[in-house]
Amino acid sequence: MSLSARITIPATKRVVEIPTGLFINNEFVPSADSSEVIDAINPATEEKICSVVAGSEKDIDIAVAAARKAFNTTWGKNVTGFERSRLLNKLADLIERDQELLGEIETLNNGKPLKIARDFDISDSVQCLRYFAGWADKILGQTIEVDNKTKLGFTRPEPIGVCGQIIPWNYPINMWSWKVAPALACGCTIVMKPSEVTPLTALMLSKLVAEAGFPPGVLNTVNSLGPIGGAALSAHKNVDKVAFTGSTLTGRKIMEAAAKSNLKKVSLELGGKSPHLVFESADLDQAANWVCLGVLYNSGQDCTAGSRLYVQDSIYDKFTALLVAKVKELVIGDGFDEKSGGGPLVSKAQYDRVWGYIESGKSEGAELALGGQKRAGKGYYVDPTIFTNITSDMRIVKEEIFGPVLSVGRFKTEEEAISLANDTTYGLGAGLHSSDANQCMRVSSALEAGTVWVNHYNVVNNNIPFGGKKQSGIGRELGMNALEEYTSIKAVHWNFGDKCEWPL
Ligand code: ADP
């Protein structure tokens, strides 16, 4: 097949040449042994945008070999932090230059509103690259006193090596940046496997990696089906680390493959069923806005989606009425329409999955306060749906839905709120709203989650670590903690005076 596709973006009439090959050694290439393709679909119209090369296990092998060679020759310990920083900053500038174009392709393939892809996802990605560019020349070890007259210990954080990075479809550019920026800042090389649902923007970003001047093989991109390319990367004996964002089910398989192959380091950012608590002292208007953002941002396709809301009894009726009114204000429509605050779900599979949950909510006896009706016509649209009268054994309360579906329950006391919030196998995000500072401190401490938002929700910052507890994952992305995921500490014991007596 051709290694590029010329497409016209219907809404803007922009003509774009999209690379469609595998990106290995800074070139777009065909598969070594497969003629399989992946179709990129526009979820707003259900039409095919174009097809890209689907990589095989052999292609993963070739990409890993390219990454290994670069690690041993032009990258890894062969390049200064200053140079890594310069190149990352250059890449950030190029992404910023192409922000509108990248935003349009992201919207076309993912469905999210252009204003969100462009102004939030891509702006944040540019900032992420710049943030980690800032760390590249500040990766510090320690000197450790042993015996001032004879011995000194010191540590060197060294790049861990070749990293397999497996990313999801909900924030294709953002998740790419969260993975690529710290890995390259630390001196690692990469084989990236984007989601087969959204394969396009990673290819466009790869082109910018070459334009920025990164040496061949530093970053390679292999679009492939998860059970083929993702599984091959996780089980590869020449990969030193795998970083993954996606479902808990797939995360489990990746960890198992890592354990059974070479015990590579694994970081996992997995699912969630995040609780959102509203106490009676809260600013109700603001709390309702954050609750809406928490569950409806990105049409609920968000691992931290605040999909379980618990409201204190004394304000329950007032707050739910306010919430329903606010949710109704959101316009869900085509991502290229400026009025849209939310787009369609990403794929038919996701659409069917979310409807399966909505039907289960109805059949298990939850009450529909809003939504729950299918739209006619094309596009994988799901309108915001709110269930009340829930019980803790319902599937909509226990399982991650990854759609705009909120379950609302009630509590009487702070203890009850904490116990309901923590009654989950997940631990990614949690939110609480209260005007009582002592309560905020007590509850934020008691919530079992990697991130707790106080009078706030769903906003992440590149300089604050992000990750999960319980079955929501292992390791941290963003912030200085992310550097630990891509470095391995070498301890050097330096003797300048101690004599070895022999025999013992
Ligand atoms: P979803 O089911 O919503 O697509 P996944 O967690 O399966 O979520 O997908 C996230 C990423 O994991 C994608 O890039 C996908 O290709 C990849 N993936 C899926 N299955 C596997 C697997 N068995 N091993 C490794 N990666 C996989």
Q: What is the pLDDT of residue 245?
A: 98
Distance 274 CA to ligand 1 centre (A): 21
Q: What is the pLDDT of residue 1?
A: 80
Taking residues 87-91, report their average pLDDT. 98
Ligand 1 nearest-atom number relative to CA 233: 25
Q: Whose CA is nearest to atom 21 of ligand 1?
A: 226
Q: What is the pTM of this model?
A: 0.98
Taking residues 224-240, report their average pLDDT. 98
- Per-residue pLDDT band for 32 (boundaries 50, 70, 90) equals very high
Question: From residue 92, how far is each of 74, 130, 179, 193 by CA, in Å?
Answer: 21, 6, 14, 20
Distance CA 401, CA 386 (A): 13
* pLDDT tens-digit map of 209-221: 999 999 999 999 9
Whether the Cβ atoms of residue 393 and residue 238 lie closer than 8 Å to each other = no
- Per-residue pLDDT band for 31 (boundaries 50, 70, 90) equals very high
Contacts of 393 (CB under 8 A, 6+ apart): none
Q: Name the one residue in this structure whose structure tokens are 């999960």.
A: 468
Ligand 1 nearest-atom number relative to CA 247: 6
Residue 356 Cβ inside 6 Å of ligand 1? The answer reads no
Share of the chain above pLDDT 70, in %: 100
- Per-residue pLDDT band for 504 (boundaries 50, 70, 90) equals very high
Active-site residue list: 269, 303
38, 57, 166, 299: residue to mutate for ligand 1 pocket, most atoms within 8 A of CB: 166
* pLDDT tens-digit map of 454-497: 999 999 999 999 999 999 999 999 999 999 999 999 999 999 99
Residue 226 Cβ inside 6 Å of ligand 1? The answer reads yes
Distance 502 CA to ligand 1 centre (A): 57
Kindly tell me if the per-residue pLDDT of 394 is higher than 90.
yes
First vs last Cα of the chain: how many Å apart? 70
Nearest to 188 by CA among 224, 230, 212, 159: 159
Residue 196 Cβ inside 6 Å of ligand 1? The answer reads yes
250, 255, 299, 302: residue to mutate for ligand 1 pocket, most atoms within 8 A of CB: 250
Kindly tell me if the per-residue pLDDT of 150 is higher than 90.
yes
* pLDDT tens-digit map of 174-204: 999 999 999 999 999 999 999 999 999 999 9
Residue 246 Cβ inside 6 Å of ligand 1? The answer reads yes
Average pLDDT of the chain? 98
Kindly tell me if the per-residue pLDDT of 380 is higher than 90.
yes
Ligand 1 nearest-atom number relative to CA 196: 16
Q: What is the pLDDT of residue 403?
A: 98
Residue 250 Cβ inside 6 Å of ligand 1? The answer reads yes
Q: Quick one: the chain helix, strand, coil %, rounded to 5? A: 40, 25, 35
Residue 231 Cβ inside 6 Å of ligand 1? The answer reads yes
Taking residues 101-128, report their average pLDDT. 98
Distance CA 409, CA 431 (A): 15
Ligand 1 nearest-atom number relative to CA 224: 16
How far is CA 305 from its chain centroid?
13
Cα 109-194-242 angle, rounded to 5 deg: 155
* pLDDT tens-digit map of 269-300: 999 999 999 999 999 999 999 999 999 999 99
